[in-house]
Amino acid sequence: MRNSTLGRSFSTATAIALFLITNVEAQTGTNWPSFRGPNASGISEGHPLPTTWNVETGQNVKWKTPIPGLGHSSPVIWGDRIFVTTAISSAGDPYLKVGLYGASPDHPEKVDHQYKLYCVDKNSGKILWEQTALTAHPKVKRHVKASHANCTPTTDGNYVVAFFGSQGLYCYDMQGKLIWKKDLGRFDAGPANAATLEWGFASSPVIHDGRLYLTCAARNVSYVAAYDLQSGSEIWKTKRPLYPGWHSPAIYTGTKGPAQLVTNGYEHMGGYDLKTGKELWKMTGGGDVPVPTPIFAHDLIYITNAHGAKSPVYAIKPSATGDITLDGKDRSNEHIAWSHPKIGNYMQTPLVYGDYLFTCRDSGIFACYNAKTGKKLYKKRLDSGVGFTASPVAGDGKIYFSSEQGDIHVLKIGEKFQRLSINPMNEITMATPAISEGTIYFHTKENLVAIAN
């Protein structure tokens, strides 16, 4: 059944195999330690993944566990444990407006919220423990499509860190004991051109080699920083130009350039030395609402952003140094392998699988490009009249796109568009799913749902 489902051509299988050989960390198939899994790749291999399911009949639904409150954070996984965050309003069911609309209002909630971290058994869906990091009024308003728990937690199997933006940073051990916490102050994370609007914070932390790394971008403060994971003490902090963003950092540890933290931005995308925080390279020229996380493949760093006049994609060499900004209408230079000014993502982090780069607009326009050259292979609309916020994930020759209404579009990897199925979750789905050992975990508006063959 699996072979008939995939039906890949020899060339497609060969390209994917070569990609997987050079991306070993994404192939363990067990741990999904931060937003979009290892290196934010969004890929988990080594196990067959489901093509169809039915949440009403229970077909291919392994378990379903209610998670109270409102949280758009993604699940993260280590071993047999899943971690997910949420914010529970004392006023009851919070207001949420999904879909495509022009206005971008914020939403004040002057009532207590419980900011919580849940630990769930991966195999049964049983809640093993829960911790309330803080009970307090939100320090900031949120966008009506956002939550007060947007940031995805991160874990290394010894510690798990939950970040609630202006409400603080919290580190626990795997049994739920609080190890340390930090108040990083208030993040005024609203749009740059509307000083009275507050949209909330969404950048997720990442752990690497005993350190916790953050990108914090707001109207009042902007920096990248590294902290000791065991103690929470600051190791370095590098200031960046003031500009709000909702992007998470990613860690490059390949062989074609120095180990570096890479972060998105509008006027300032860049790479930073992991040990010292020294800026290695920078560039300008993006969309004015930077959200997607940088990703790595084929010895390149892919950065995209959108909104306003620009929606570029850049394929940057990890060996880049200094100011690598493109001149005029140039598409490449010594440090940028290729770029395109109009194919970028607004909300979703893109995905590279084999030789294919996949992007998707919040309006559901989906496109596939050659990841090495930027050549467009095809473009389609997944759906009309609905929004797409969650980033795609992939494995087993398939890629999964989640609409805000909860319809999961399953596509076959290849040079031509082929939709395998559409599977309704029957509830709002804003968070990017996680994959572990052949199971896909969806954090919907009200539940954590495990889907497997």
**Is 352 within 8 Å of 295 (Cβ atoms)?**
yes
429 exposed, middle or buried (CB, 10 Å; 0-12, 13-18, 19+)? buried
Say what the pLDDT of residue 26 is: 44
At 141, which CATH number? Answer: 2.130.10.10
Instruction: Tell me how far apart the alpha carbons of residues 89 and 112 are, in angstroms, rounded to a whole number.
Output: 6
More confident: 308 or 257: 257
> pLDDT for 23-64, tens place per residue?
444 445 799 999 999 999 999 999 999 999 999 999 999 999
- In tens, the pLDDT along 381-403 reads 999 999 999 999 999 999 999 99
Say what the pLDDT of residue 229 is: 98
For the residues 124-149, what does the mean pLDDT come to?
97
Residues 245-272 have a mean pLDDT of 97
CA dihedral 230, 233, 235, 240 (to 10 degrees): 120
Task: Give the tokens for residue 420.
Answer: 């395998």
Per-residue pLDDT for 19 more than 90?
A: no
3-state SS of 335-362 is CEEEEECECCCCCCCCEEECCEEEEECC
| pLDDT confidence tier of residue 103, bands split at 50, 70 and 90 | confident
* Predicted local distance difference test score (pLDDT) of residue 453: 95
Whether 87 contacts 26, CB under 8 Å = no
Q: Do the Cβ atoms of 146 and 199 come closer than 8 Å?
A: yes
Degrees, nearest 5: CA angle 391-405-249: 20
- Give 280-306 pLDDT, tens digit per residue: 999 998 899 999 999 999 999 999 999
CA atoms within 13 A on the CB side of 28: 12
Residue-range definition of the domain harbouring residue 406: 2-452
Average pLDDT over residues 171-191: 97
Q: What is the pLDDT of residues 320-353, one digit of tens each?
A: 999 999 998 999 999 999 999 999 999 999 999 9
Q: What is residue 28's predicted lDDT score, i.e. its pLDDT?
A: 54
Q: Is the pLDDT of residue 21 over 50?
A: no
> Quick one: the chain helix, strand, coil %, rounded to 5?
5, 40, 55
What pLDDT score does 74 carry? 98
**Sequence-ordered strand ranges (E) for 247-345:** 250-252, 260-263, 269-273, 279-283, 295-297, 300-304, 313-316, 322-323, 336-340
Does the structure show a pLDDT above 80 at 101?
Answer: yes
What percent of the chain has pLDDT above 90?
Answer: 89
User: How many residues are listed for the chain in this entry?
Assistant: 453
449 phi, psi to nearest 5 deg: -120, 130
Question: Per the structure, how many domains does the chain have?
Answer: 1
Reported as a pLDDT band with limits 50, 70 and 90, residue 267 is confident
């398939």: which residue's tokens? 398
Tokens representing 21? 């050989």
Comparing CA positions, the residue from 330, 338, 344, 321 lying closest to residue 264 is 344
**How confident is residue 158, by pLDDT bands cut at 50, 70 and 90?**
very high
- The pLDDT mean for the chain works out to 93
Residue 17: is its pLDDT beyond 50?
no
Beta carbons within 8 Å of 14's beta carbon, 6+ residues apart: none
